[in-house]
Amino acid sequence: MAETYVETFNNGTGGWYIWLDNFKGATQLEMNGHAVVSRAPWDIDYNHCHPGGGYMHLLFCLELVGPLGEMMREAGGGCNRFIEGGYSTNLTEGQLSVRIKGELEKRGSELCLIIQGSQGPHSAAWALSGQPIRVTPDWTWQTITLTADERQWTFMGSRHDRAEHYCHIDLKTVLADPYNIILMLLPVNVVPMGPLDGDMHKLRPEYDYPVWHSKLPDGYVMIDEVKIEYPCI
């Protein structure tokens, strides 16, 4: 059995961060004791909106590959224990477990894992939509398996103007060497507040038009331990 990655957040966020948006970038997660907290209102990620897989909220993110730039180091609390520990990025058939709790108004979304990988200048994102993670008011362990079965996953594609960057890369290729993992809410129901001058999916919610926050997920989610267990080799 390969070595298991374990993050208990006993010494800060350990590289985990929250991604805000393409303008504000990444920032540090809130800490509550030995737990990281992601709290609404969350920014809307529109990189994979129609004709891609949909709008998302990105709650917990971890870079798996270095070196990291200054912004990512600061957002992760000054260190990234996954990269520094030299853990394998081959997550194929691995298991990710989180000890998690919260109060979450999902409003049609689910908390899922997303992985991103690259080939040359191109990236691809896959969401493990077939294995959503339950969030309850009490602490529970939730475990998902990063299977290579594409029926468990949703290829996220790209919005109209990011197709040159976000391209289709085979799931097995991405699983074998992703550059980050994200726990996100998907799909997020973006409803414009008032009439629009143009196609909402070609505009940017919250920047080009206001949205009804009452339609978006609300609440908070806490995690106090994360494990990645690799399959037997």
Rounded alpha-carbon distances, angstroms, from residue 202 to 36, 61, 77, 155: 34, 26, 35, 20
Does domain 5-229 fall under CATH 1.20.120? My reply is: no
SS3 track for 95-147: EEEEEEEEEEECCCCEEEEEEEEEECCEEEEEECCCCCECCCCCCEEEEEECC
Residue 177 reports pLDDT greater than 70: yes
**What pLDDT score was predicted for residue 22?**
78
User: What's the whole-number average pLDDT of the chain?
Assistant: 96
The band of 2, judged by pLDDT with boundaries at 50, 70 and 90, is low
Q: What is the reported pLDDT for 21?
A: 80
For the cut 50, the answer to whether the pLDDT of residue 179 exceeds it is yes
183 vs 63: CA distance, rounded Å: 12
Q: pLDDT-derived band of residue 20, with 50, 70 and 90 as boundaries?
A: confident
Question: Residues 160-175: what's their mean pLDDT?
Answer: 95
pLDDT at position 147 is 97
**Tokens coding 91:** 């997550």
Residue predicted with more confidence, 24 or 115? 115
Residue (of 16, 5, 8) closest to 77 by Cα position: 16
Are the C-beta atoms of residues 157 and 47 closer than 8 Å to each other?
Answer: no
70 CB-near residues (< 8 Å, 6+ apart): none
Residue 233: what pLDDT?
A: 54
23 band by pLDDT with thresholds 50, 70 and 90: confident
Q: What is the mean pLDDT of residues 141-147?
A: 98
Q: Where are the domains of the chain?
A: 5-229
Q: What does the pLDDT look like over 118-130, one tens digit per residue? A: 999 999 999 999 9
CA 226 remoteness from chain centre: 14
User: Side chain identity at 213, as an amino acid letter?
Assistant: H
Measured distance CA(82)–CA(63) in Å, rounded:
8
